[in-house]
Amino acid sequence: MVASTAYFERLISRDQRALRLYLSITLGVVALGVFLIVLSFLLTPSSASGELLLRLGGGFVASLAALPFREFIDRSSRIGGMQDIHAMWRDASSADPPEVELLARIDALVWQIYATRAVG
């Protein structure tokens, strides 16, 4: 059997780290865009460098709007799903006797979730 408590915790923590990284990058892009917009107003928008910074800042903010939020939503829902699957696995493995068939199906389900995600 592949699944264990440590196995589920690793899968969940990996998705949580990826979610934090995604949010950090998103906030960084927004902060950079806002900084460039504010800097452009400080340099007066009528100057060439101010106009360039305004366009760059607007581009950063607009590019964030174009980023797919599907990844964020997918990871969030997958974390919740893996926590539920882990609870089912824990209940099945602690039963007396352990529910071997259910444990095997849970293992196959976890592999299917991550294989589908890796392949696309």
pLDDT the model gives residue 33: 78
pLDDT the model gives residue 73: 80
Length of the chain in residues, anyone? 120
The ranges assigned to domains in the chain are: 23-67, 68-120
51-86: per-residue pLDDT in tens? 777 777 777 777 776 566 667 788 888 899 889 998
Give the percent of the chain with pLDDT over 70: 86
Phi/psi region, residue 99 (left: phi>0; alpha: psi -120 to 50; beta: rest), is beta
pLDDT the model gives residue 1: 47
Structure tokens at 61: 């903010």
**Average pLDDT over every residue of 3-25:** 85
pLDDT the model gives residue 84: 92
